[in-house]
Each structure stands twice: as C-alpha cells, then as structure tokens.
Structure 1
Amino acid sequence: MNTNVSANSESSVVIGIDFGTLSGRAVVVRVSDGAELASAVHDYEHGVISETLPGSSRQLPPETALQVPEDYRAVLRRAVPKALADSGATPEQVVGIATDFTACTVLPTTVDGIPLCELPDLLDRPHAYPKLWKHHAAQPEADDINALASQRGEFWLPRYGGKISSEWEFAKALQVLREDPEVYERTDRWIEAADWIVWQMCGRETRNVCTAGYKGIHQDGVWPDHDYLAALDPRFTDFVDTKLAHPLSQLGGRAGGLTAQAAAWTGLPEGIAVAVGNVDAHVTAAAACATGPGQMLAVMGTSTCHVMNAETLAEVPGMCGVVRDGIVPGLWGYEAGQSGVGDIFGWFVDTGLPEEYAREAAQRGLSAHELLSEKAVSQPVGGHGLVALDWHSGNRSVLVDHDLSGVIAGLTLATRPEEIYRALVEATAYGTRTIVDAFDSSGVPVRDFVVAGGLVRNPFVMQVYADVLRRPLHAIGSDQGPALGSAIHAAVAAGAYPDIHAASAAMGKVERDVFRPDHARADAYDDLYAVYTDLHDHFGRGGSDALHRLRRIRNRTHTQ
C-alpha cells in the first residue's frame, strides 16, 4: 500500500491516462495546483482495424472499426513509467490514477474480463473484438431500436433526442447477436472499454454512470425492459440481465486499489486509488473549468463532442443523451457531437492536396494544414461561393443518422484547394452552431463556449468558429485536456478534494475570450449558415433521400 505520502501533501501527484482513437497518453499532475510535470504517449500497434483482422486477409464489411485490447494494456506498461520517469516524481509520491476512454468503445469478455478476441478459437471472428466508437456498421440495428422504441412510446427515447446511435452499446450488441450468435452467446460481459481498463487495473468490475447513461440507455435507474428487448429479438430478452447490468459508480469515486499485476505494469505502488472510469470528453470538463450549468465544452479533434451541465431536464433535438450525474454529480449532463471534424480536414489533405501545395509546404517547413489555413485566412467570407455538409462520417447531432455523407455545393473550375478546405472548416462550424441553436431553443441556454482538443492550436479554425457562433471562445489552458481531467478525478478518488468542482477549481485551466467574433464576418456567415441549413434539412430531413440511396448502392457493391 502507498502509505508514505498523504493525498493532501504538497508533494503528492496523480496520473491521468487518456485512451484515444490511435494512442494512449499518460500525464503526471501535481495535486496541489494541477501543474503538469510530464507526459508520454504510446501509439497503438494495431490502430483502427477497418480492413482486415491481424493475420488475416479476409476483407471486413464497410463501416467496421475494431481494436485490439492488448494495445490498451501496452499504454499502462509503456506510457505510464515513461511519464513518471520524466516527471522527476517518485512512485511513492503517486496517490491515485484515473483513465478516460473513447466511447462508445465496447467489447465482449468472459466473466473474468478476458476479451473474447484473446481466446484462441475466436481470433478470426470480427465480433469478438472491441468495437471502436466510430464502428457504424450497426446502423440497421439502430434503426430497428429507434423504430420500435418510437412505436411503443418508450420513455427513454426523448432523452436521446429521439434516436439511439449506431455507435452505442445496444445497437452494437444486437449486431453481434444477429451476425455471430456464437460470439454473442459466449459473451459473459458486454462492457465499455472505459470500465474494462479499470477492471484490468483494480481487479474488480465496475460500471460508471456516464457510459451507462449516454451509451447504454440507462435512465431513472432502469434499463430497457424485457418486453422491449424481446420485441427486438427474443434472443435479446435477457441481454441486460446477463451481460450488462452491474451496480453503477459515481464519477470521481474510488473503483478500488491498484493490483499487484497492474503495479508491475506501471511501476506504481500497489493499492493506490484507481478512479471510476470515464469518457474522454466528459472528463475534460473538469480540466477546462466547465463544470457549472450553461458552460458548453467542445472537445475538438478527429470528431467533436459537446458536453454541458444544467440544473433542469429538457428534451433537446438530436442530443446524444441527457444523464443525471453524467458529467458531475448533482446536475443533468447533456451531450451532443459531430462524428467527423478533424477527420474531414485530414481526409482532404490526404486525398485532395495538389503536388505543388505539398511541395510548397515541405519547402517552407509547414504542415499541409498550416499551409491551407494560411492561404484560406485571407479570403473574404463567402468569396469561395461554397457551402459544405460535414457528414463525411455521418451525422451524430442533430440528425443522428450515420448513413448520411458529405456534400460540397458550389464548386466551379475556378475553385482552389484552400477554398474547399475553408468550406470544410466552415461546415463543421455550422454543424456546431446547429447544435448550440438546438440547445438554446429547447430552454437549455448555452452561456459560455469553451474549446479543448488538438484543433484549438489552429487559430484560423478557431476564428471561423467564433465568427460563425457569434460568441467568444474560451480555451482550455492545457494540451492534455482529457488526461488532465482524468488526473483531477484521480485526486478526488484519492481523497485530496471533496468533489469534482473543488478539484477542478484548484487543478483545472481555462483562458477566457481567447477568440472573439468579428461582427462583419459574423453577419456574412449568417447568410452562409442559412444556405447550410437549407441543404442540411433537404438532405437530412426528408427533402431528398439521395445520400441514403448512394450509401445503399455503395454498400451493396462491397457485399457482392
């Protein structure tokens, strides 16, 4: 047990670990003031599995996104010891550790927590592997879940904006049942990776209220009932009872003590506090000092997740969920999101950048994104004559439809690459404004808008957002938002602070009014946003099913 250092000691530190889409990052943080002493990153060996399983040549179906659990354990073995060594702190100074994860990233395990993909006879079965958050192949199951819930008037459906996402626990589990009944039958526990990694660290299964509420349809203390599940599929009747249900733990709580095995992996003392699992965006609220009502936090990276606390419960169209205690205990936590943001910019750079642009960027020592941003920033608003729809990875909010796809309207033979890039950036800002407008019009006003994540480092992107939203943007004062947020929760779990609000106030970091809107540009963007809204509603709300037809044609060709 770690008994040499008090959790309240000036020398005590905590470790936060952020498990992202492609890597895991560990950060060592001083408990007294949130100073970040060191960090280390470990890239997942297998990354995102979307084409073939390791060691296999068989093509995976479209929209598949899987991962390998051993990549997660490797973060504990490599990133944590490296960060601690670089920090100058000793293992004896560490009083707690906490993690956050992408979500819904979910996996099937045995009753002892062994991932089914690690069983020798299931190595070649895709459904035995963790399904990453952006696994969208369960859209037919999500459609069935939504249609039946709407038909039956299930009370929980409005809590999710009227639609359950294909990214979430029930849709993905139902896909496993339908496509590989044997793997489903051998699944003892269907568990979020956020909870599974905590199980690996403290040796006992726990389930957190955040993923249960937002990704698992747990509302008002209950799950979807037997009658509803049986109506979906008789074989699904006992899904909750046998594979999902478990007592739920509050965020900031202590899940247990670090086991001897996990202590050996990390080089940390056995018995230190391991915090209850959490989600990357939600845990970042504490790091960005955005735990109060009306403070919307946008965690902007490959995708964007919008989270906000409120004192009241309301139905916001297209929200990903509203959960009591979902971000901090005692408040209603709202979540919305965009499935593609940085991924969209990256797609254009990877597939549409002319050779001459790549050569110029290399000669000037710039990244492609920096070069395109520089060229785009001088353009007048609307000068490119373009409006795009940011649906390259489908739409999470407010339409909750992952069968939608991207659109660029207004292209001519004179259109330049930087103009397309700017239009894509603007499209993601319009998508965010659509979400903010939905909250404001539903009686859940957005008072502050705080940004975090990798895109905050691009001033061009941030200024576009400030102008489109007509709001000042407050920015997190850390490059390690989720990991810092996890460290803050570790401090609460270790007993250094009475609650998340107090720990956030002492350890969190935010810079106010970093980007202010320009009113002339904002006025011009209002006109473009009106065009975006027209296209958004036409393609997304029944004016045309062209995008759905194209998706069906594409998927059909991949299965022939």
Structure 2
Amino acid sequence: MSRKYTIGVDFGTESGRVLLVDVQNGEEIATHVTHYKHGVLDESLPNGKMLPPDWALQHPGDYLDVLYQSIPQVIEKAQIEKRDIIGVGIDFTSSTILPLDQAGEPLCFQQEWESNPHSWVKLWKHHAAQKEADEITQLAKEQDEDFLSLYGGKISSEWMFPKILQIVKEAPEIYEKTDLFMEACDWITSKLIGKLIRSSNTCGYKGFWSKKNGYPEASFFSMLDARLEGVLETKMRGEVQSIGGKAGALTEEMAEKIGLLPGTSIAVGIIDAHAGVAAVGAVHPGQFVMAMGTSTCHMLIADKEEKIEGVCGIVEDGIIPGYVSYETGQVAVGDSFAWYVDHAVPSYILQEAKEQETNVHALLEEKASIYKPGQSGLIALDWWNGNRSVLVDAHLSGIIVGLTLATKPEEIYRSLLESTAFGTKRIIEGYLQAGIKVNEIFASGGLPQRNRLLMQIYADVINREIKIPDSSQTTALGAAMYASVAAGGENGGYDTIFEAAEKMAKVKEEVFTPIPENVQLYDELYQYYLDVHDYFGKENSSVMHGLKRMKLG
C-alpha cells in the first residue's frame, strides 16, 4: 500500500505556508510560502485611502493566492501522486473576519465598496472596536449573561461581534449589504467544499458560541443595537461543526485550481495557534502550550471548567475533542522585540551587527545573555499592543521602569524579553489559583527556535521545564494532523486526534531547565513587575487610557 499524505495550510499575519506531511510518521516532505502581496493594511487601503489609528485590514485575494500558488508547488516538490493526498487542513489567524455578499464573495472585491474600509477583512489585531467591545461587556454584565464568564468577564476588541458592531455603527450601508459575516478560516474552508460551515473552534473562542448553549439569546443582540435583530439567523447563519471532524469534500472547481483530486477530505478549520497544540502532542489535561510569534497564544487542556480572570475563551471540544480547552494570550511578544530593533536601537549597534555579519536580534541576544537577572535595573510591561490577558484592555501601552543615562541597548532588549515571561507567569498563576493544573509546558512557533536566551528566561521566570517541538512549522503540521483525522482510518489517516498525535507529533529531546539562582532573582523581580502591572493596569489605568485618548484625538 502506498504512503499517504496530508496538507496543512497555515494562514499567518504576513504570509501563508503550505506543508505536505507523511501521515505515517509526521515527516515533513515539502513546504512552500506565499507572501501576501498586500501585507497588513494598517495605514491605507490598496487604492491609497488612509486608515484611522488602530486599524488592521487585509486583502482576501492574498489568501486565495496561497491556495493557488503554494499547494501546486508542494506537490511538484514532493513528486508524489495526487491520489495519495488524502486530506487538507486549514488553520488561520483569528479573529479575522470579513463581510460577504450573496455569492459568498468579499464585499471589497466589488468596485462599489472597495474604498470603504469596512468592506475589507478585519485582521485579528484590528483594535479599533474597543469601544464596541466595552459596550458588549457592559450589557452582558447588566443582563447577567452566562457567556461572559467563558471569556474572563471581559470581551476583547479582537473578536467577531465587536467588529460587527463597529460596522453597524460606522458603516451601516456595509452591514445592510453583508449577507454573511465569517471568520476567514471558515470562509476558506467553505470555498474548498462548496458549502457553508463554521468551526466550533472559531465560533467558540471568537463568536460567543458554546457546545452546550449555542449563541447568546437573540434578544441580547437586539438590546445591543436594534439593527442586530435577527443577526444570528441571517448574517451569522451556518452549521457549526466540531473540531476534529470532516467539513466536507473538495469540489471539482477548487480541485482544478489547486491541483488536487475532487473529493479530497477537508478538515474543519482551526485557529492557527490552536493547531500547534496537537502538533506537540499536548492532547491531555494539564498540558500548556505557548504559541510564540508576533504575539503569544496560550492553550491549556483541562478536564473541568472554572472561571478564570482574563481568559480569552473556555470551550468544550474547543481544541481537543472530549476536553475543555482554555485560551489566554499576549498581544505583543515578537512584535515588541521587532519594534525596538527597527525603531529604537542606536546606530552603533546596527554598525556592529553589520561588521559581525549577524542580525541585530542575534547581537543583542548575545550581549544581553551576559547579564544576570536584575542586573539591568529595569522592569518593562509587555503591553506594546495593549493587554489581552489578564486585563483585556487594548488601551494599555508599554512601559520601561528604571532607565538611566547609563542604560545600554542590550539591557532594554533583555527587559523586553523578561516582560513577556513575566506576563506569561501572571497568566499561569491565574490557572493555578482557580485549581486548574499546569503539568507540562511546551513552546512552539518561530521565537523558541531562534532565541535561546528568551526560552531560558521563560524557564527561569516560570520555574518549569519548557519543551520545544522538533518542527519549525507546528501550526501547519497541526492542520495536517487534523486533515488526517478528517480523512479517517479507512482511508489511510486516523480516527482520532489522539492517534494522530501519537504517530505524527514530535518534541525535541533537549528541554530548557530552570537555573536555581536565576529563579530566586526572578522571583524578586516578578514582584516588582506585579507592582507596576497593577499600578498602571488596575489602580491608575486612567494614565494610559488618557494618553491613548489624546493620541487618537
């Protein structure tokens, strides 16, 4: 019997990656990346129309390019028969939503609407709907809505309904013309299979849906805004299918466009970071996964549901069928390091990196690794793009305490690395205080593969061993694993994600182990972090809120 393969398609913030995987052992056979031609639209639309602050849009045509260009490329690279590819899985940044017309096409494709920013894809890091998120939170509290407790008691501006409400208020004409609002993940999946489906993963974490209760009562949305009456039955219609299942079969039209056979199994879509959970084998309670990149998403598998401060979602069957899956996150991690390198590093550091023929990050990592914890005299807050967990406040901003005339660039760089580790520790403490076990910690994504100092800092701050996947493409691998389950055991795949994880998931033998003397120093530093965290995030948040208000005008 010939070997069987699946394809994972990973839609990121700047590009889309396609990975072809051997189902038998998880071997990564071929990969191809298509960079989005339009990138992130955070300053202007493609036609030059300027965007307000805190906007982040994308061009949906870039997503289709990934399918049309990268899937044929990996097939050609691998030199395998199409009949041996048994499934395709999609993972996507989220909440990334778009308004569709009656033909299921994005409104921004129409000349009539291309100059209206609200007709475009709103990317996950679009934070211009904070006011609407606050309104939803307030009404949910007033009405004592049960769903609010599943999201840590506060709704994020990143999620679907705040973005929809922003459209209702600022562009009612777009709202009226919209036949469907969809997560980009579910839109791509629906394009492949030719029918409308939504994922329990995307709806559960970003759309107020639960397996037990479905969406909130229709009356809640009518109270929020009269124009939202009937939104669930109309613009949010569509069957919600469970993660780990088969969404449908590839249509003849799409098969011809992407170079696969019609009838190929298509998995129910999943949020990008969540796909990495299965890819590291974290499919049992107590396993905590940090998907670390431009931002960090934390996923924890548990066997019970508890209320936790600042959680982004508690979803039954959300990531791993049969368990409750929790999500928390930090909005800026790699982004904050990149900000410093791109905009604040002095010229002599750039020159030194050039002379040593290395990149600035590597040089700063080398310089910063010489310091002991606390030696820089700095504490930073990891809020350079707001705070997702535990405060859920997009109006908060970054801060560095302790700067002097003697402060060096590598000290600032190290303080930024440390701040993200402190933020993660604060999140883990929330789980532990609620009685949720955290037994194992995994770090996936690009950062753990590139920055050893960062991972050692995390191990020291959290005081836990950290395991790293033996793959730099965990999200795409995870999507490919879900594709193997969608295909099923009778077709050469697997019947459960547990079986797939046992055969396809990979973790490196090397782990990052806490250094006892560093743990002790970081315990003291962490208390200072908490002092600053609570001062600016709770007791005196009006300082940062006021600065943000003045910036926006």
Counterpart for residue 466 of structure 2: 473
SS at match of 1:223: coil
Give CA deviations for 1:335-392 in whole Å, capped at 9, x if unaligned.
0000000000000000011111111112222111100000000111111100000001
Structure 2 portions without partners, runs of 5+: none
Are residues 1:510 and 2:510 paired?
no
Is residue 246–residue 266 contact of structure 2 (8 Å, CA) maintained in 1?
Answer: yes
Of residues 310, 330, 337, the one that matches 2:329 is 337
Is residue 99–residue 198 contact of structure 1 (8 Å, CA) maintained in 2?
Answer: yes
Counterpart for residue 174 of structure 1: 165
- What is the correspondence of 1:429-444 to structure 2 with a 5 Å cutoff? 429-444=421-436
Is residue 201–residue 262 contact of structure 1 (8 Å, CA) maintained in 2?
Answer: yes
Counterpart for residue 535 of structure 2: 538
Counterpart for residue 37 of structure 1: 29
Are residues 1:70 and 2:61 paired?
yes
Counterpart for residue 522 of structure 2: 525
Aligned AA for 1:221? N
Aligned AA for 1:494? A
SS at match of 2:122: coil
Are residues 1:93 and 2:84 paired?
yes
Offset of residue 512 of structure 1:
5.2
Offset of residue 543 of structure 1:
3.0
Counterpart for residue 494 of structure 1: 487
Give CA deviations for 1:166-207 in whole Å, capped at 9, x if unaligned.
000110000000000000011111100110011111111110
Are residues 1:367 and 2:359 paired?
yes
TM-score of the aligned structures, taking structure 1 as reference length: 0.96
Offset of residue 265 of structure 1:
2.2
Offset of residue 10 of structure 1:
4.8
Offset of residue 325 of structure 1:
0.2
- What is the correspondence of 1:342-353 to structure 2 with a 5 Å cutoff? 342-353=334-345
- Overall identity of the aligned pairs, in %: 45
Is residue 472–residue 513 contact of structure 1 (8 Å, CA) maintained in 2?
Answer: no
Offset of residue 448 of structure 1:
0.5
Is residue 451–residue 475 contact of structure 1 (8 Å, CA) maintained in 2?
Answer: yes
Of residues 100, 105, 114, the one that matches 1:114 is 105
Structure 1 stretches of 4+ with a deviation exceeding 4 A read none
Counterpart for residue 44 of structure 2: 52
After superposition, the Cα gap between the structure-2 partners of 1:392 and 1:378, relative to the gap in structure 1 and judged at 3 Å, is same
Is residue 258–residue 274 contact of structure 1 (8 Å, CA) maintained in 2?
Answer: yes
Aligned AA for 1:113? G
Is residue 196–residue 239 contact of structure 2 (8 Å, CA) maintained in 1?
Answer: no
Offset of residue 92 of structure 1:
2.3
Are residues 1:381 and 2:373 paired?
yes
Offset of residue 511 of structure 1:
2.6
Are residues 1:459 and 2:452 paired?
yes
CA RMSD for the aligned pairs? 1.0
Aligned AA for 1:543? N
What is the distance in 1 between the residues matched to 2:154 and 2:509?
35
Counterpart for residue 391 of structure 2: 399
After superposition, the Cα gap between the structure-2 partners of 1:513 and 1:295, relative to the gap in structure 1 and judged at 3 Å, is farther
Counterpart for residue 196 of structure 1: 187
What is the distance in 1 between the residues matched to 2:392 and 2:533?
13
Which of 357-366 and 65-74 deviates more? 357-366
Offset of residue 84 of structure 1:
1.8
Offset of residue 264 of structure 1:
2.1
Q: How many residues align?
A: 547
Is residue 473–residue 512 contact of structure 1 (8 Å, CA) maintained in 2?
Answer: no
Is residue 15–residue 33 contact of structure 2 (8 Å, CA) maintained in 1?
Answer: yes
- What is the correspondence of 1:120-199 to structure 2 with a 5 Å cutoff? 120-199=111-190
What is the distance in 2 between the residues matched to 1:126 and 1:65?
10
After superposition, the Cα gap between the structure-2 partners of 1:446 and 1:512, relative to the gap in structure 1 and judged at 3 Å, is farther
Of residues 222, 230, 237, the one that matches 2:222 is 230
Aligned AA for 1:514? V
What is the distance in 1 between the residues matched to 2:330 and 2:75?
34
What is the distance in 1 between the residues matched to 2:301 and 2:2?
31
Offset of residue 445 of structure 1:
1.5
Which of 223-232 and 287-296 deviates more? 223-232
Offset of residue 469 of structure 1:
0.4
Are residues 1:423 and 2:415 paired?
yes
What is the distance in 1 between the residues matched to 2:446 and 2:395?
27
Is residue 69–residue 130 contact of structure 1 (8 Å, CA) maintained in 2?
Answer: yes
Aligned AA for 1:486? A
Which of 287-296 and 502-511 deviates more? 502-511
TM-score of the aligned structures, taking structure 2 as reference length: 0.98
SS at match of 2:257: helix
Counterpart for residue 547 of structure 1: 544
Offset of residue 283 of structure 1:
1.2
Offset of residue 227 of structure 1:
2.1
Aligned AA for 1:541? K
Offset of residue 221 of structure 1:
2.8
Which of 352-361 and 526-535 deviates more? 352-361
What is the distance in 2 between the residues matched to 1:240 and 1:367?
50
Which of 338-347 and 76-85 deviates more? 76-85
Counterpart for residue 309 of structure 2: 317
SS at match of 1:297: strand
Counterpart for residue 72 of structure 2: 81
Of residues 200, 204, 207, the one that matches 1:209 is 200
Counterpart for residue 3 of structure 1: none
Give CA deviations for 1:34-62 in whole Å, capped at 9, x if unaligned.
10011110000001001111112x32111
What is the distance in 2 between the residues matched to 1:92 and 1:530?
58
SS at match of 1:263: helix
Offset of residue 482 of structure 1:
0.4
